[in-house]
Amino acid sequence: MKAEAQALKGHLDVLLLATLQDGPRHGYAVKEALRAGSGGRFDLPTGTIYPALHRLERADLITGSWSVVDGRRRRSYRLTTKGERRLAADRGSWNEFAAAVTAVLDRTSAPWPATP
């Protein structure tokens, strides 16, 4: 099942940053990393990835550079130091949040007292 773009909206920034943690990628490769890394669940239209990357670049979280590949101009992005810090912070917050949700959903200890 493909996740709706709307559901991804609040997490798109950290996901895009995560796709760049192993090195520079261009827009299509970012999209493919997102799709492959999520087992196909996060399969956004490729064209909508680029404006999000531009916004992250304006926020100095990533930086882009042009090169020429197969006769085509290509823009690749890499994390900045600020982007690495943001990724680490957001990852920590997410892990705490996910652990809390999992603890509630997968509760195996004694049941909570019910209200009369």
Partner 1 sequence: MAGHPLIDAHLAQLHRDLPTEAVEELADGLNETYEQYLTAGVCPTEAATAAIAEFGAPDRIVAAFTEHASGRRIARALLATGPLVAACWAWSLVIAQAWAWPIPPAAGLSLGAALLSAVGVLAIAATSRSYRRTGLGLVGAVGVVALDTATIVLVLIAAPILVWPMAIAIPASLLRAGLTARVLPRLLNR
Nearer CB in complex with partner 1: 6/108: 6
Cα distance between residue 44 and residue 37, in whole Å: 13
Q: Does position 57 bind partner 1 by CB under 8 A?
A: yes
Cα distance between residue 54 and residue 34, in whole Å: 17
Q: Does position 72 bind partner 1 by CB under 8 A?
A: yes
Of 36, 46, 88, 102, which lies in the binding site for partner 1, with binding defined by CB under 8 A?
A: 46
What is the closest distance, in whole angstroms, from the C-beta atom of residue 38 to partner 1 in the complex? 16
Burial of 24: CB neighbours in 10 Å, binned 0-12, 13-18, 19+: middle
Nearer CB in complex with partner 1: 46/95: 46
